[in-house]
Structure 1
Amino acid sequence: MNSQEEVLAGGGINRVVRVGATVRRPAQAWSPRVHQLFEHLQTRGFTGAPRSFGTDPAGRDVFGYLPGEVGHDPWTPEVAGDTALTSAARLLRAYHDATADVAASWRDGWQKPAVEPIEVICHNDPAPYNCVYEGGRAVGLIDFDTAAPGPRSWDLGYAIYRFVPLGSAAGPRVEERLALFFDAYGADDALRRATRAAVVPRLRDLTEHMRTAAAAGDEAFAAHIARGDLDHYLDDIALLSGDGFTAAGG
């Protein structure tokens, strides 16, 4: 390892290092799409995602480093606060809006298949651990490996599961924090209903992805399953399917 390389925390699937003002990570088959996405976001004036700098001599993807605090567990009081929640919703809305004009035409080339109806390019893992915060506000999104076209509700379903949060991690203010998130995103009643209905299917998709990757020999996903992550998601699927959440108003 280069002495100037700093291994970044949270890279559960890939080894990610910081070199000065850049981040380096192993290139993948879908890397060209991610670079294209970052370049497009720059043209649209969205600055809450890394910049693309191509590849380095080692063949790794090179992206700009976003300074700030990443919302790893356990959450700090700032990351757990309502300001962090609402700013994340606004950040995700700005990101979605910046991708709406290319989502349908950039259907292929991603790690994950597109989900119909295509409205935006979903981040597909919007969560505090993929958010960069400054002063308690979400200012950046990172780790776009699983990005792919899909409906807003598909991304928002996972976002509310993580940011509110829902399931076994839920606190006493779930409906209040849901309303704060939806209001900050600017979601109408139809999108709120669709988002609630998307939570369980989105978690089922995650469990299938984990199983498929582990069966194909992915050691990181196999390790996640071994430590109980899969069982955790299955428990939350059962919990959210049985408590009337997806049928509730919003």
Structure 2
Amino acid sequence: MEERLLGGGVNEVTRAGATVRRPAGPWTPAVHALLAHVAEAGFTGAPRAYGLDERGREVLGFIPGEVAHYPLPAHAWTDAALTGVARLLRAYHDATLTFRPPEGAAWYFPPREPAEVICHGDIAPYNCVFRDGRPVAFIDFDTAHPGPRLRDVAAAAYRFAPLTAVGNGEPVRPVAEQARRLRLLADAYGLAEDDRAALPGAVREHLDGMVAFMHARAEAGDAAFARHIAEGHDRLYRTDSAHVARHAALLRDALCADSPGSGTR
């Protein structure tokens, strides 16, 4: 018996006992090699990979806990959850430093320079498992790809600060509070000084990139992304990108004022 899991905005995901079954893609061998590597490196905040099933779906270990979906539960908005996500992301990134992709590895997103780490590619509450209100793991590594740390930190900042003018069904926090939480995330991650200054711009690049990718996939006939556009996701991201641009100076001031400047390389 299989149980369909909540979420899966692009893919149908089911649970079968202690495993999760998801559609495989050209990127699956590289992702499974990555998951095996980070597990061997001691990182416990990602699912184990167990190859493919008889239907050609990837088989992953099920991680007990609750995934946060919008509108988010109260525990996902706490400062402790925010800093926990940042530390979990830092630990994941550090575990990828010695990973060498298989020869001819294919990735869902193309590699980006500088390829400092293997980015998760979609750090968000709906890809984070919580237990007792604490983030313990990331899931859905389909979008993993080599890239700069800042790429994932920007995605986490957008979703968890959150840097939004509209929100996803939850009350919108004042900009000063968004800036305070952005600083908390950067400090908990240990973001370097130059990356702090670049973070607001990286958030905008992340949002603008999501809009471009969404439209490209919809134009290629992908029904899931066409549905996202019909639901107004692209308008939300454009509005939030403009919001970050409007308040970039305030956000940079919060990030860089008397920052510890701890390096990430």
Q: TM-score, normalised by structure 1?
A: 0.94
CA displacement, residues 82-134 of structure 1 (integer Å, 9 cap, x when unaligned):
11111000000000000122268878410110111110011110011100001
What amino acid does structure 2 have at the position aligned with 1:201?
E
| Cα distance between partner residues in 1 of 2:228 and 2:103 | 31
Q: Unpaired runs of 5+ in structure 2? A: 256-265
| Cα distance between partner residues in 1 of 2:205 and 2:104 | 21
Measured at CA, do residues 66 and 245 of structure 1 come closer, stay the same or move farther in structure 2, by a change above 3 Å? farther
What is the correspondence of 1:19-98 to structure 2 with a 5 Å cutoff?
19-98=16-95
Q: Which residue of 2 aligns with 1:201?
A: 205
Displacement after TM superposition at 1:160 (Å): 0.2
Displacement after TM superposition at 1:30 (Å): 0.8
What amino acid does structure 2 have at the position aligned with 1:143?
D
Number of residue pairs aligned between Structure 1 and Structure 2: 247
Displacement after TM superposition at 1:27 (Å): 1.0
| Cα distance between partner residues in 1 of 2:215 and 2:250 | 25
Q: Unpaired runs of 5+ in structure 1? A: none
Match of 1:219 among 214, 219, 223: 223
Measured at CA, do residues 145 and 245 of structure 1 come closer, stay the same or move farther in structure 2, by a change above 3 Å? farther
| Cα distance between partner residues in 2 of 1:17 and 1:105 | 28
| Cα distance between partner residues in 1 of 2:248 and 2:25 | 40
What amino acid does structure 2 have at the position aligned with 1:179?
R
What amino acid does structure 2 have at the position aligned with 1:89?
A
CA displacement, residues 60-84 of structure 1 (integer Å, 9 cap, x when unaligned):
0000011101111111111111111
Contact 2:128 2:135 in 1 (8 A): yes
Displacement after TM superposition at 1:181 (Å): 0.9
What is the correspondence of 1:225-244 to structure 2 with a 5 Å cutoff?
225-244=229-248
Measured at CA, do residues 132 and 54 of structure 1 come closer, stay the same or move farther in structure 2, by a change above 3 Å? same
Contact 2:29 2:105 in 1 (8 A): no
Task: Give the SS at the match of 2:115.
Answer: coil
Q: Which residue of 1 aligns with 2:131?
A: 134
| Cα distance between partner residues in 1 of 2:70 and 2:78 | 14
| Cα distance between partner residues in 1 of 2:248 and 2:125 | 25
Task: Give the SS at the match of 1:139.
Answer: strand
Contact 1:199 1:246 in 2 (8 A): no
Measured at CA, do residues 189 and 105 of structure 1 come closer, stay the same or move farther in structure 2, by a change above 3 Å? farther
Task: Give the SS at the match of 2:60.
Answer: strand
What amino acid does structure 2 have at the position aligned with 1:182?
A
CA displacement, residues 137-164 of structure 1 (integer Å, 9 cap, x when unaligned):
1100001111101001111111100011
What amino acid does structure 1 have at the position aligned with 2:135?
A
What is the correspondence of 1:168-183 to structure 2 with a 5 Å cutoff?
168=165, 169=167, 170-172=172-174, 173-183=177-187
What amino acid does structure 2 have at the position aligned with 1:224?
H
